[in-house]
Amino acid sequence: MEEDTNSGSVTGRKLFILWLVFFCYLLLGGLIFNVLEKQNEDEQREIARLVKQSFLNNYTCIDSEALEELIDSLLVIQSNGVDPRGNATSPSKWDFTSSLFFSGTVVTTIGYGTITPASRSGQQFCICYALIGIPLCGFVLAALGERIKNRSLKFKEHCQKRFKKADVFYMAMICISGFFIFFLIPSVVFSYFEGWSYHISFYYTFITLSTIGFGDYVAGSNSDKNYNVFYRIAIYVWILFGLVYFILLLAHVSDLLSSAGKKVKRKTLSIRGVKQKHKKNENRQPTRQTNEEISDVEEMSLQQINESNLKTEAEINNSESDVEVKSEKLPEQEYDAEMEMVI
């Protein structure tokens, strides 16, 4: 009973090893990103410096301090969710479709960050909206994922009737079909409508469906393009079903890992049982040997006792026979002595 309870809980040693692996993984990621991105950042800084220098050379009436102030003010405007390019007639980022898309990124916890509430009332409402919307979205996605999972289990039962390795075929079909439906095909669509390369489109699909949501690339957010309303709605539907697919995939992976863990646990328990039986047999063999030795000694002692008893009985018999012979000789000797006296 103690082994079962201890095996189900995480010991301090296991927790320390997990934290150590996690920390080493973070260190590895930091080192690789540092190597890959630091050089690109330095190149972009140099490009920005050259652009500002060429601007100052072309417009000598503007000094470097005025240019830096202009850039700072434009960056502040951009951080408030307004594109500093264009003029007041530029399309708003807070129209109804954009606001609807923003509310979807809030409740799904993607949070691109391209548009954020800048007003105090908008920030307060975003907090209340997220507190209710995130659990509600999680409940809806979990229910939809459970519905799809039950349908997929029927497909799994059908595969078990036809294939020997049904689990492998079932997981392969889920991974391949989901990869095509939620990654490859949407990447082609985004590459066409957004003008991105296929690499950037695939990068965007993964960052979005994994809810990382950096916000460096966001479909339907380019102010220079007039997007159709149905296109933005299709993006949000893709996000919802893509998140459901991720939940379904993680559920199946967790089931496989749990079943594999149970198999490993059974094997370890069987190996422990075999070892314990082997140790018990080894402990029993010396006792058997000692018992056999004791029985041999007892048999030897009994044989010696029997032999000594036989010897004593033989000696007693011999002594009795000698006494009888002597007793027979004494009357004869007395008779001869009397006859001699008569003569």
For 214-261, write each residue's pLDDT tens digit.
888 999 888 778 888 889 889 989 999 999 888 888 777 777 777 777
pLDDT of the residue at 330: 46
Three-state DSSP class for 148?
helix
Assess contact for 207 and 201: CB atoms under 8 A: no
How high is the mean pLDDT of the chain?
79
pLDDT band at 189 (very low <50, low <70, confident <90, very high): very high
pLDDT for 34 beyond 70: yes
Phi, psi of 313 (to 5 degrees): -65, -40
pLDDT tens digits for 305-323? Answer: 666 666 666 666 665 555 4
pLDDT of the residue at 202: 95
> What's the whole-model pTM score?
0.67
pLDDT of the residue at 323: 47
Nearest partner of 84 among 215, 223, 220, judged by Cα: 223
- How far from the centroid of its chain's Cα atoms is residue 58's Cα? 59
pLDDT for 3 beyond 50: no
Mean pLDDT across the stretch 279-284? 67
pLDDT for 133 beyond 90: yes
pLDDT of the residue at 335: 46
pLDDT of the residue at 129: 94
Indicate the Cα dihedral angle 166, 170, 172, 173, nearest 10°: 130
Question: Lowest-pLDDT range, 15-19, 70-74, 247-251, 283-287?
Answer: 283-287
pLDDT band at 298 (very low <50, low <70, confident <90, very high): low
Alpha carbon distances (Å) from 214 to 33, 113, 203, 269, 270: 15, 7, 11, 46, 49
Nearest partner of 244 among 138, 341, 151, judged by Cα: 138
